[in-house]
Amino acid sequence: GQCALWCPTGAISECDDSEKVWEAIQDPGKVVVVQTAPATRVALGEEFGLEPGAWVMGQQVAALRRLGFDVIFDTNFTADLTIMEEATELIRRVKGDLKKPLPQFTSCCPGWIKFCEYFYPDLFLNLSTCKSPQQMLGALVKTYFAKEKGLNPKNIFSVAIMPCTAKKFEANRSEMKDSGYRDVDSVLTTRELSRLLKKHNIDLTKLPAENYDPLMGKSTGGAVIFGATGGVMEAAVRTAYFFITQSPPPSGLLQLTPVRGLAGVKEAAVEIPGVGRIRVAVCHGMGNAREILEATRKGNAPWHFVEFMCCPGGCQSGGGQPRTAVPPSDEIRLKRIASLYNADAKMVMRESHENPDILTIYQKFLEHPMSELAERLLHTEYISRGKCFSPLKSGAV
């Protein structure tokens, strides 16, 4: 049956898709493509006795190759693409070119999206229409990748390794078939991947670091920090600054300290020449979200852009991550977060618009952010869910 669990904290355990994925790997008629979320690379190591936050990006790629995946892409690539699309959408709203209200809300956390669909459907126009990086990559695997390699998308099986149980629900949403097929066929959590590796005697710690496959394997520091609360916002601000001014963001914007850390609601203001002061907010946990949503309902929201994440500290402590401690302690969360920010600080390319493969995909395929094709494959719409679960309104009571 269909698994529609979306508990973002993993209090309800995941519907395990490992067998389905293993069958696809064994099927010689299938090209099995996998993508890995930003946050898995700072947590998978814990399942193999490494310290919380241990950076295992290259080992994870090697392990997936040993398991038999044909092509290994990085969700970080489409995190960069999300930023291109979302920053463009934001600028259009701020300049009044797009007749949609401010603040713009981020849309990459399916737990948050479902919360908004149940309790705040009146604020749908505030939601960015961007799909999450997982779903963008899924749609591109069965279109762009299939076209580049001359493959029939029908024979592609697309898998996502995610820190998150809600991502299973998201992949199963009926509208996520813009490639003409189900865009993401299966989602495995970080814990499910570790079980699969152990079952096949693959020890992550004994593997050399390997690289992602070309086409959708490159990413920037802006994408890496998606795994921490505040990361999407910070990456979007870097690129929005560049889009508006055509010059690189000042160093303060490469370390937007006020939006980092574990406070429930964080705020910052950024001066961008040409448009003035842009006010942003970041919140994690839906209790904190209500403050911002109620202010928006009353017309009292001073912000231009707000990031929402269900899980405390963002995806690095998602419901599919290793349970080194239950629930993850702040100490573990902060170690994983520090690892993501360290990786960002060390990268040569830190802004999504610098990614050469992103420039290529626009040149060869998508044309420009929010083009007709980009709108079709990378953007989505939302479903008001509150009414169908109201027993009073439905007459069930």
Catalytic positions, written as ranges: 86, 89, 108, 128, 167, 170, 175, 315
Nearer to ligand SF4, 237 or 309 (CB): 309
Sites for ligand SF4 among residues 117-136 (CB under 6 A): none
Nearer to ligand SF4, 109 or 272 (CB): 109
Query: What six digits make up the tokens of 192?
Result: 């499910």
Q: Does 52 contact ligand SF4 by CB under 6 A? A: no
Nearer to ligand SF4, 114 or 218 (CB): 114
Q: Does 109 contact ligand SF4 by CB under 6 A? A: yes
Half-sphere exposure of 65 (CA within 13 A, CB side): 15
Q: Looking at 315, 334, 343, 358, which residue binds ligand SF4 (CB under 6 A)?
A: 315
Q: Does 334 contact ligand SF4 by CB under 6 A? A: no
Q: Does 314 contact ligand SF4 by CB under 6 A? A: yes
Query: What six digits make up the tokens of 78?
Result: 């489409």
Rounded to an integer, what distance in angstroms lies between the CA atom of residue 359 and that of residue 370?
14
Q: Does 311 contact ligand SF4 by CB under 6 A? A: yes
Binding mask 271-310 for ligand SF4 (x = CB under 6 A): --------------------------------------xx
Q: Looking at 8, 133, 221, 249, which residue binds ligand SF4 (CB under 6 A)?
A: 8
Residue 143's contacts (CB-CB under 8 Å, 6 or more residues apart) are 153, 179, 365, 377
Instruction: Please provide the DSSP assignment of 156-180 as one string.
Output: EEEEEEES-SHHHHHHT-TT--TTS
Task: Say if residue 42 is exposed, middle or buried (CB neighbours under 10 Å; 0-12, 13-18, 19+).
Answer: buried
Nearer to ligand SF4, 153 or 327 (CB): 327
Strand, helix or coil at 395? coil
Strand, helix or coil at 286? helix
Q: Does 235 contact ligand SF4 by CB under 6 A? A: no
Q: Does 34 contact ligand SF4 by CB under 6 A? A: no
| Angle in degrees, CA 381, 383, 388, rounded to 5 | 175
Name the residue whose CB lies closest to ligand SF4: 318
**Block residue for tokens 């190591």:** 45
Is residue 249 within 8 Å of residue 372, measured between CB atoms?
no
Closest of 339, 22, 355, 41 to residue 190, by C-alpha? 41
Q: Does 223 contact ligand SF4 by CB under 6 A? A: no
Rounded to an integer, what distance in angstroms lies between the CA atom of residue 125 and that of residue 89?
12
Nearer to ligand SF4, 219 or 229 (CB): 229
Q: Least distance in Å: CB of 348 to ligand SF4?
A: 27
Rounded to an integer, what distance in angstroms lies between the CA atom of residue 45 and that of residue 350?
25
Q: Does 111 contact ligand SF4 by CB under 6 A? A: yes
Q: Least distance in Å: CB of 161 to ligand SF4?
A: 12
Q: Least distance in Å: CB of 321 to ligand SF4?
A: 8
* Cα distances (angstroms) measured from residue 193 to each of 16, 19, 211, 236: 10, 11, 18, 30
Sites for ligand SF4 among residues 165-184 (CB under 6 A): 166
Q: Does 164 contact ligand SF4 by CB under 6 A? A: yes
Nearer to ligand SF4, 8 or 103 (CB): 8
Q: Binding residues for ligand SF4, per CB under 6 A?
A: 8, 109-111, 163-164, 166, 309-311, 314-315, 318
